[in-house]
């Protein structure tokens, strides 16, 4: 009887010990997974940052403590790297061991585009394509958009020289664009009028117009979208808010007028 009880106690103790070990391993695994996630998030943020993407920064995380090492060419870069790391959820402390070398230029001399630069180019391409698609003048136009190092190349066909120039201007006014190579060929089509008539006859909701006008402002340079309010009623777009100059006001009106479904633009409440 006593031997049976002893066996049960030994077995119970063994099970309890295994459970404790298993729980500790599980907790450690979860902890390590969080460290890895934080390392990836911080490193990715550096690769996407226009300021830090070319710097040589190494990241390691252990139990919520981040250690940064490597080299940068400016103290501002070192401070920015630390602030980005501190902004990641779960990070409690940052040990910033990054060295500042004023003549550091090793990573910046790399000829190949960085991950962040490729993302920037892809984002620019998407923005330009969206603006061309939403425009009442360039919708349906056969256009290929390619971006490399901020330079946008437009290839395809358009119905008129005016439309070609408008497409180039829309691309140039897109955030992040450094230059535009407009290779669109002017080839008038007999079906162009039918296409425009078909697009005009389609019912476009006011909410769609408002969304696209706002997005066009966000994608465009030289227009502060945060200070401009957009409303639409029966195709009439009303812009209100404050802009810094008459040029910004005119650009905002032009961008709004280009959006499909817009009949008129009222910018009386858009003040300088």
Residue in 259, 254, 255, 253 with CA at minimum distance from that of residue 136: 259
Q: Which phi and psi (to 5°) does residue 51 adopt?
A: -85, -40
Q: What percent of the chain lies above the pLDDT cut of 70?
A: 79
Q: Which phi and psi (to 5°) does residue 39 adopt?
A: -60, -45
State both tokens at 2: 């006593």
- Cα 197 from Cα 201, distance rounded (Å): 6
pLDDT (tens digit per residue) in 11-38: 555 445 445 544 544 444 455 889 999 9
Strand pairing report for 236-242 and 264-271: parallel
State both tokens at 129: 């394509």
The per-residue pLDDT for 36 is: 92
pTM tops 0.75: no
Residue in 71, 41, 44 with CA at minimum distance from that of residue 56: 71
The per-residue pLDDT for 202 is: 54
The per-residue pLDDT for 265 is: 97
**Any residues with CB less than 8 A from the CB of 237 and at least 6 apart, and which?**
209, 210, 213, 230, 231, 256, 259, 262, 264, 265, 266
State both tokens at 165: 């120039």
Please report which residue ranges of 87-156 form alpha helices under DSSP H. Answer: 115-134
pLDDT (tens digit per residue) in 143-189: 999 999 999 999 999 989 999 999 999 999 999 999 999 999 998 76
Q: Which phi and psi (to 5°) does residue 180 adopt?
A: -130, 125
The per-residue pLDDT for 188 is: 76
HSE-up (13 A, CA, CB side) for residue 100: 10
The per-residue pLDDT for 251 is: 94
55 burial level (CB within 10 Å; 0-12, 13-18, 19+):
buried
Residue in 174, 167, 165, 166 with CA at minimum distance from that of residue 125: 174
pLDDT per residue rounded down to tens, the chain (272 residues): 455 545 544 455 544 544 554 454 444 445 588 999 999 999 999 988 888 888 889 999 999 999 999 999 889 999 999 999 999 999 999 999 999 987 766 555 455 677 888 889 999 999 999 999 999 998 767 799 999 999 999 999 998 999 999 999 999 999 999 999 999 999 876 654 444 444 444 568 999 999 999 999 999 999 998 899 999 999 999 999 999 999 999 999 999 999 999 999 999 999 98
232 burial level (CB within 10 Å; 0-12, 13-18, 19+):
buried
- Cα 224 from Cα 230, distance rounded (Å): 13
The per-residue pLDDT for 190 is: 61
């Amino acid at each position: 009887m006593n031997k049976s009880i002893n066996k049960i106690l030994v077995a119970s103790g063994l099970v309890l010990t295994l459970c404790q070990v298993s729980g500790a391993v599980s907790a450690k695994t979860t902890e390590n997974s969080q460290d890895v996630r934080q390392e990836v998030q911080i490193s990715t943020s550096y690769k996407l940052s226009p300021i830090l993407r070319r710097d040589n920064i190494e990241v390691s995380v252990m139990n919520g403590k981040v250690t940064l090492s490597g080299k940068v060419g400016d103290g501002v870069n070192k401070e920015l790297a630390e602030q980005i790391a501190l902004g990641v959820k779960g990070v409690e402390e940052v040990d910033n061991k990054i060295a500042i070398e004023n003549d550091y230029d090793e990573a910046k001399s790399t000829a190949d585009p960085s991950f962040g630069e490729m993302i920037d180019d892809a984002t620019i391409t998407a923005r330009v394509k969206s603006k061309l698609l939403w425009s009442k003048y360039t919708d349906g136009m056969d256009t290929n958009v390619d971006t490399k190092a901020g330079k946008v190349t437009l290839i395809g066909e358009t119905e008129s020289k005016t439309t070609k120039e408008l497409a180039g201007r829309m691309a140039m006014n897109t955030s992040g664009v450094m230059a535009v190579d407009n290779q669109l060929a002017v080839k008038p089509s007999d079906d162009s009028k039918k296409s425009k008539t078909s697009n005009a006859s389609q019912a476009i909701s006011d909410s769609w117009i408002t969304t696209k006008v706002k997005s066009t402002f966000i994608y465009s340079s030289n227009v502060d979208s945060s200070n401009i309010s957009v409303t639409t009623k029966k195709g009439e777009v009303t812009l209100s808010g404050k802009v810094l100059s008459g040029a910004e006001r005119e650009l905002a009106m032009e961008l709004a007028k280009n959006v499909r479904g817009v009949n008129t633009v009222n910018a009386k409440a858009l003040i300088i």
